[in-house]
Amino acid sequence: MSGDDILRDVASQSEDTEFYTPMPDGYRRGQAKYVVVFGTVMSGLGKGIFASSLAKLLQDKGLRVAPIKLEGYLNIDSGTLNPYRHGEVFVLDDGMETDMDLGTYERMLDQDLTRDHFATSGQFFWAVLQRERHGEYQGRDVQMIPHVTGEVKAKLRRLAVKTGADVVFVEIGGTAGDVENAYYIEAMRQLAYEEGPENVCFVALTLVIEPSILGEQKSKAAQLGIKRLLEMGIQPHLIACRAASPVTDKVREKISIYTSVPMARVFSMHDEASIYLIPTRMRHDQVDRQVTHLLNVMDRVDPRAEQKAIDVWEEFCDRLRRPRHEVRIAVTGKYTAVRDSYASLLKAVEHAGAALDAKVGIQWVDTTSVTQANAAEALKDADGIIVPGGFGVRGTEGKIACVRHARENFLPYLGLCFGFQMAVVEFARNVCGLAGANSTEIQRHTPHPVIDLLPEQRGVKDLGGSMRLGGKDVELIPGTLASRMFGGAATVRLRFRHRYEVNPDYIERLRAGGMVFSGKAPGQPIMQILELPDHPYFVGTQSHPEFTSRPLRPSPFYLGLVAAALGRSAVGPVTPQESKR
């Protein structure tokens, strides 16, 4: 049976056929191509970075690209995952809580993605069981093959139709050999079979190790990892070799011979100072050219658009490579042991630094050990401070101590989500005289609940997807710093992930103390941005502006912080008298 014959067998399955290939309306084989990226040896090697970099190179050529991440876990989304286990939870504009790799795709491609670009095993199994309950399988026994694999393929094809993509980039989470990924890999094998030659490109990302005791690179782990893919019917077209240093020709030759992948398609993906330098190296190694030939999309390339995109990107990379200034920002949180917990934050800082020709060094401060007595010592080397988002009681008093030090010593401050809330708590206690003020998340029976549950959150017991999530419009107050940062705009769109808000009963008391709420939800008393006028830079936002920061369009919140930190670094700490001038 040919690929076209299979694709004509759409939507339903009877006892007369074993094929189950539901097809979206308007789908034509060959219109959309697929690049599928698999991991081997171990997870966390950077499949998302590789896939997004390659997608950017094709996007620069004028092709329309659409990424999707397929996760093996049974969670419906990533919202309840502990940052220590899985890194940060990235929130899309439509409110979908996803894996952190979606943030990498959004930043590299400058796209706002949707729930169509992310799926978990939990979602696929849920969909299959609902179909079974509704009788859509016409009495057939429901199985992993062809029904669950059919759902996976249908998800990819729906994305292709909806986005009009020339190339869909599919990242399979985890590694080959993981039990939970077996059906994904089988679905990709079927996809290549059904779509036919020149329509699907398989990429294996592997690890080349260099044990210090040996002093040379070893490829055996990479060979055996790729062997698992071969055993599952996946013949890679390209192999990307992750390593600390450039992979030698000898090692590339070994991998090429073992896997039947030509040397020209075995690439070194060694460490770089920034992930944003990787597309340039991949272009130099002609990875993009190999893919466009494999997928036969050379006729869709726009050379003029590509050169323009290259020039803009290289200018950005030059600022990353040769910054003229240096500044130090303290990040005060409780997940500092796992840097991936703050992945988007770190990238937003990097974007702002590049825009200002500055290298931004990060000082990690674990607030579980910070007190009012030692806050000054903990922050003595910082030119600015970020108090990021978080949940729970642990480390909160340390964050409040850091906020107070920043406010009283005119240290540039940016509070994000929970950091916004802690700024309100600190101000209420130490400026407005509301002794014992707190958030009801931290102290249920606080005498002054200046931070309290949003009305729609009362009575909510389920955790997954229950917060105020996704993109929301924010009204800006004219004449405020927030308004100026956004070029005088009346409204901006920011992304949120929170259950608590500034208690409306305390807004006027906080304003009377000198706090300015410069951004709010339209038509609602939900405060979204705060600032202190008599301070070099003291800004908090209930949103997560790092989710919308882009390499070439940095978040104004982060730009403001880094600019203020650069000013402090150049002239030294500001006194109260100087601040009022």
- The catalytic residues are 417, 544, 546
Which uninterrupted H or E stretch holds 173?
A: none
Q: Which residue has the tokens 């020339």?
A: 166
DSSP state of 93: T
* 98 close to 68: Cβ distance less than 8 angstroms: no
Of the candidates 361, 385, 362, the one whose C-alpha atom is nearest the C-alpha of residue 375 is 385
Instruction: Judge residue 25's burial from the number of C-beta atoms within 10 Å of its C-beta, 0-12 exposed, 13-18 middle, 19 or more buried.
Output: exposed
Q: Which residue has the tokens 């609902």?
A: 130
Whether omega for the bond prior to residue 449 falls within 30 degrees of 0, making it cis, is no
Relative to beta strand 65-71, strand 118-120 is: parallel
* 203 close to 38: Cβ distance less than 8 angstroms: yes
Of the candidates 357, 263, 317, the one whose C-alpha atom is nearest the C-alpha of residue 56 is 317
| Angstrom distance (rounded) from CA 176 to CA 182 | 7
Of the candidates 557, 529, 161, the one whose C-alpha atom is nearest the C-alpha of residue 355 is 557
Give the per-residue SS3 of 323-361.
CCEEEEEEEEECCCCCHHHHHHHHHHHHHHHHHCCEEEE
